[in-house]
């Protein structure tokens, strides 16, 4: 993260922190309005989940200029979210809902530099989480396929949008990627 972005994130969060509850409520309202089916993923008390999100935001802001230190915990968080039913295509909705909530809660304090800085921060955070989710997918595919080198296609059952995932197993080439089914 660029130092000027980190400074802007810290400044805007300092102004928003006293209204963290409002920020988080607006985030969930926006997220559930955009993707009502996501509401079903929250089996826990939403007030408790809101406290967790507020604490996570504070932790991220405190370490905004050292996000590399949060890489492993964010990857683990992404892996846990797979178990909750969070899909990769939920992450852009998360970012958009959070950006909208930040914008709305900040009101006249919001600026183009704040938009850019928070956008970069949220992309960095969600990319780390997605790396954790990808690792879970890779490990699951490897458990199914064994250690035999080669490329395998797996259908991932998702409501209304099944996806194909390509798993490559082999020395130096192992990894998971979505298959572009438009070709």
CA distances from 130 to 23, 80, 87, 163, 177 (A): 24, 11, 9, 16, 12
Lowest model confidence (mean pLDDT) among 73-87, 115-129, 156-170: 156-170
* C-beta separation of 23 from 102 below 8 A: yes
Residues 6+ apart with CB under 8 A from 158: 87
Q: Which CATH architecture has domain 3-138?
A: Orthogonal Bundle (1.10)
Residue 103 has what pLDDT?
A: 97
Residues 6+ apart with CB under 8 A from 176: 134, 137, 138, 141, 165, 166, 167, 168
Residue 159 has what pLDDT?
A: 44
Residue 180 has what pLDDT?
A: 43
Greatest pairwise CA separation for the chain in angstroms: 58
Residue 154 has what pLDDT?
A: 53
Judged against a pLDDT cut of 70, whether residue 167 lies above it is answered with no
* C-beta separation of 165 from 177 below 8 A: yes
Residue 158 has what pLDDT?
A: 44
pLDDT tier at 89 (50, 70, 90 boundaries)?
confident
Judged against a pLDDT cut of 90, whether residue 4 lies above it is answered with yes
* C-beta separation of 91 from 129 below 8 A: yes
Judged against a pLDDT cut of 70, whether residue 12 lies above it is answered with yes
Judged against a pLDDT cut of 90, whether residue 183 lies above it is answered with no
Burial of 55 (0-12, 13-18, 19+ CB in 10 A): exposed
Residue 153 has what pLDDT?
A: 53
Tokens of 32: 């559930």
Judged against a pLDDT cut of 90, whether residue 63 lies above it is answered with yes
Judged against a pLDDT cut of 70, whether residue 114 lies above it is answered with yes
Domain with CATH 1.10.490.10 in the chain: 3-138
The residue with tokens 């938009």 is 115
Lowest model confidence (mean pLDDT) among 65-69, 80-84, 144-148: 144-148
Residue 174 has what pLDDT?
A: 47
User: 167: which strand partners?
Assistant: 152, 176
Judged against a pLDDT cut of 70, whether residue 171 lies above it is answered with no
Is 176 or 87 the better-scoring residue by pLDDT?
Answer: 87
Judged against a pLDDT cut of 80, whether residue 144 lies above it is answered with no
């Amino acid at each position: 993260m660029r130092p000027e972005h980190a400074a802007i994130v810290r400044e805007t969060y300092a102004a928003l922190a006293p209204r963290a509850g409002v920020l988080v409520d607006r985030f969930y309202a926006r997220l559930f309005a955009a993707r009502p089916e996501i509401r079903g993923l929250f089996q826990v008390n939403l007030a408790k989940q809101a406290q967790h999100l507020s604490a996570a935001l504070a932790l991220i802001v405190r370490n905004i200029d050292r996000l590399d230190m949060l890489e492993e915990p964010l990857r683990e968080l992404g892996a846990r979210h797979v178990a909750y039913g969070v899909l990769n295509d939920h992450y852009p909705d998360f970012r958009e809902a959070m950006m909208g909530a930040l914008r709305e809660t900040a009101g006249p304090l919001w600026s183009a530099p704040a938009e850019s800085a928070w956008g970069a921060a949220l992309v960095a955070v969600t990319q780390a989480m997605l790396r954790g989710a990808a690792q879970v997918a890779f490990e699951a595919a490897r458990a199914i396929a064994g250690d035999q080198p080669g490329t395998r296609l797996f259908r991932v059952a998702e409501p209304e949008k099944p996806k194909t995932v390509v798993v490559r197993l082999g020395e130096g080439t192992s990894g998971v990627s979505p298959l572009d089914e438009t070709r």
